[in-house]
């Protein structure tokens, strides 16, 4: 298995960073080159005192907001990495920047998808630091072969049924257009 080995046996599929600096760093790194600007803050949540109305935040009683670590493509590293994430065609985020005029500067907890540039030249022209599709995959068959290999690895880890491999490869083929 490819998780984090736990003392006493077993595997954890969870990774996280929890300090404010790391939360901001992870989100800022993830938004770099995606055409969105990270506003420099993460939605915070404080414990509330309901003894007064309206409820007031209790100083120094903030809930810790955990975020997953990200890879070089900006995709989350925690959990079970399904083939679409381990063989990516773009960056999948767990957040969306709000558009101008709608609570600008905030992040919503709805996901976004930022596709990779098709060619190296498109990538260079846009300033995207992520490799383009042509730099990653020699052909559509190469991409589909990697999807199949990623699915078979999940089967080997007992996280996917063998009979589901073909449907994942077919879904990837349909997504290519």
Give tens-digit pLDDT for 71-97.
888 888 888 999 999 999 999 987 777
Which pLDDT tens digit goes with each residue over 4-24?
544 555 544 444 444 444 555
The domain limits of the chain are 4-136
pLDDT at 71: 85
d(CA 64, CA 18): 7
> Which tokens is 75 given?
């995709």
The lowest-confidence range among 19-23, 115-119, 142-146, 163-167 is: 19-23
Which of 83, 67, 63 has its CA nearest to residue 30? Answer: 67
pTM above 0.75, yes or no: no
- The mean of the pLDDT values for the chain is 80
Q: Are 62 and 44 in contact (CB under 8 A)?
A: yes
pLDDT at 17: 47
Helix axes 165-175, 140-156, angle to 10 degrees: 150
pLDDT at position 78? 82
Lowest average pLDDT, out of 2-11, 38-47, 121-130, 156-165, goes to 2-11
Confidence of residue 1 (pLDDT cuts 50, 70, 90): very low
pLDDT tens digit sequence for 26-74: 556 656 666 666 665 566 678 899 998 999 999 888 877 667 778 888 8
């Amino acid at each position: 298995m490819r998780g984090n080995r736990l003392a006493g046996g077993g595997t954890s599929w969870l990774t996280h960073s929890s300090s404010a600096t790391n939360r901001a760093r992870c989100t800022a790194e993830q938004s770099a080159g995606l055409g969105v600007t990270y506003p420099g803050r993460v939605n915070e949540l404080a414990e509330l005192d309901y003894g007064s109305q309206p409820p007031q935040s209790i100083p120094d009683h903030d809930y810790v907001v955990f975020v997953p670590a990200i890879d070089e493509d900006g995709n989350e590293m925690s959990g079970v990495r399904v083939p679409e994430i381990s063989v990516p065609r773009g960056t999948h985020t767990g957040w969306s920047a709000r558009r101008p005029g709608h609570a600008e500067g905030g992040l919503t907890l709805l996901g976004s998808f930022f596709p990779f540039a098709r060619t190296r030249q498109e990538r260079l022209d846009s300033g995207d630091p992520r490799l383009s599709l042509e730099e990653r995959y020699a052909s559509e068959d190469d991409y589909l072969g990697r999807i199949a290999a990623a699915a078979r690895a999940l089967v080997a880890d007992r996280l996917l049924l063998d009979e589901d491999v073909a449907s994942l490869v077919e879904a990837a083929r349909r997504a290519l257009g």
